[in-house]
């Protein structure tokens, strides 16, 4: 296979074709130093799991970005959630990874150990069943995730109202990825030659959304799938754009990503949520990078219903997760990594989630 300009089905590539792609990446990178960043936590995990860094040129560095929604959840949000659960004796309903994320005053698992009710669900619709079965108790459902998971949560909120559930409230910790990518580029802390765009998010938001945010940046952004063949071909494609001085948003994940994205899902989210500012771990407040409930649904908003007596005061720790999320630090450069911070005893969210950079390095690259 001498011509790699177009491949119809990347997942059908054989070993010889993969070798050709890897060699072409080496050829493209041989005359300089290059740095590219994968934004998505699933890419981070798969790149580590398949040992992709080990077969790339040493002068082509892959940095990991803030593409793990659990990891970018701020300490103050965890502290607020624990604070209201204790003050108002709320039951907490959430997805699995969040229970282990440490805040200044412990994690939701610590809250559970104190006897508070913390429920882990796989579908947000389960929160309705839990609340209806326990009408004497108030619950807060934690909405966490990027654009990929928001539609199912928007649908759940509509069902809460439709069914008249009065003891179930909502804490929106959702994050929007294009504003965060723009914030990283604007910060200028690290020099990037190219960006690996997230596949799952892009399936929802489409290519056009990225173009809106990245049109003023002279950098190629290539949306890729998650199989090792997807990633390697995508890196080859990205390196070609870098070498040719071509900028803009491109996609090699054509089997899933369209220009417009999933318009039905976008409309569902727009029906339930307004865009708001949001606090990101390691990045601070990013304008218009979060979601809050529209006025029609604001009676479900936990922040409006449950107030703390005093503002949350976050305690500084030795965890360097924020710098890892910005690509400033490699996980093994954190003094806690693999010593006191491990997946069974995480000191920061980057070690908690399976999509966290520290967890990926610990499991697959800690040798």
pLDDT in tens, 92-140: 999 988 999 988 888 999 999 999 999 999 999 999 999 999 999 999 9
Query: What are the structural domain ranges in the chain?
Result: 68-211+255-367
Average pLDDT over residues 288-317: 93
Query: How many C-beta atoms surround the C-beta of residue 311 within 10 A?
Result: 8
Q: For position 313, what pLDDT does the model report?
A: 81
Q: Which helix (H) or strand (E) holds 240?
A: helix 228-244
How large is the average pLDDT for residues 283-307? 97
Banded model confidence at residue 10, pLDDT cuts 50, 70, 90? low
Looking at residue 315, what is its pLDDT?
Answer: 80
Each residue of 131-184: pLDDT tens digit? Answer: 999 999 999 999 999 999 999 999 999 999 999 999 999 999 999 999 999 999
**Could you tell me the pLDDT band of residue 3, with boundaries at 50, 70 and 90?**
very low
* Average pLDDT estimate for 72-95: 95
Please tell me the distance from the alpha carbon of residue 216 to that of residue 100, in angstroms, as a whole number: 39
Tokens 């040129």 belong to residue: 57
Does the structure show a pLDDT above 60 at 6? no
pLDDT at 13 over 90: no
pLDDT reported for residue 365: 87
pLDDT in tens, 202-215: 999 999 999 999 99
Confidence band (pLDDT; 50, 70, 90) for 9?
low
Nearest Cα residue to 102 out of 118, 87, 82, 123: 82
The SS3 assignment for 71 reads coil
Q: Per-residue pLDDT tens for 32-47? A: 999 999 999 999 999 9
User: In a 10 Å sphere around its CB, with 0-12 CB exposed, 13-18 middle and 19+ buried, how is residue 188 labelled?
Assistant: exposed
Quickly list DSSP for 262-290: -HHHHHHHHHHEEEEEEEETTTEEEEEEE
Burial class (CB in 10 A: 0-12, 13-18, 19+), 244: exposed
Look up residue 45 and give its two tokens.
């995990």
Topology classification of domain 68-211+255-367: Rossmann fold (3.40.50)
Encode pLDDT of 49-76 as tens digits. 999 999 999 999 999 999 999 999 999 9
Crossing angle of helices 228-244 and 41-49, rounded to 10°: 110
Strands across the sheet containing 168-172: 118-120, 91-94, 139-143, 168-172
pTM: 0.92
């Amino acid at each position: 296979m001498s011509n790699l300009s177009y491949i119809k089905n990347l997942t059908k590539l054989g070993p010889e074709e993969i070798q050709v792609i890897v060699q072409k990446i080496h050829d493209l990178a041989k005359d300089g130093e290059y740095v590219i960043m994968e934004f998505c936590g699933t890419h981070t995990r798969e790149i580590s799991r398949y040992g992709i860094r080990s077969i790339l040129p040493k002068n082509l560095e892959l940095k990991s970005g803030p593409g793990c929604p659990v990891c970018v959840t701020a300490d103050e949000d965890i502290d607020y959630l624990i604070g209201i659960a204790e003050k108002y004796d709320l039951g907490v309903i959430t997805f699995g990874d969040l229970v282990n994320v440490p805040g200044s005053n412990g994690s939701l698992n610590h809250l559970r150990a104190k006897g508070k009710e913390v429920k882990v669900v796989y579908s947000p619709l389960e929160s309705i069943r839990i609340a209806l079965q326990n009408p004497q108790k108030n619950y807060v459902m934690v909405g966490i995730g990027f654009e990929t998971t928001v539609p199912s949560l928007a649908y759940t909120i509509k069902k809460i109202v439709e069914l008249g559930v009065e003891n179930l409230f909502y804490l929106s910790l959702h994050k929007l990825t294009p504003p965060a990518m723009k914030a990283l580029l604007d910060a200028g802390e690290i020099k990037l030659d190219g960006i690996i765009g997230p596949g799952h998010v892009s399936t929802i938001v489409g290519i056009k959304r990225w173009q809106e945010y990245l049109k003023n940046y002279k950098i190629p952004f290539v949306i890729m799938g998650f199989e090792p063949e997807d990633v390697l071909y995508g890196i080859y494609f990205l390196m070609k754009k870098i070498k040719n001085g071509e900028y803009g948003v491109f996609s090699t994940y054509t089997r899933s990503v369209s220009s417009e994205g999933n318009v039905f899902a976008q409309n569902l989210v727009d029906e339930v949520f307004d865009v708001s500012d949001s606090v990101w771990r390691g990045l601070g407040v990013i304008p218009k990078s979060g979601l809050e409930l529209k006025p029609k649904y604001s009676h479900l908003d936990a922040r409006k219903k449950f107030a703390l007596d005093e503002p949350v005061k976050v305690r500084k720790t030795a965890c360097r997760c924020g710098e890892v999320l910005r690509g400033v630090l490699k996980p093994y450069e954190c003094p806690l990594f693999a010593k006191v911070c491990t997946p069974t005893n995480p000191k920061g969210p980057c070690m908690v989630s399976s999509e966290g950079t520290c967890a990926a390095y610990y499991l697959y690259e800690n040798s």
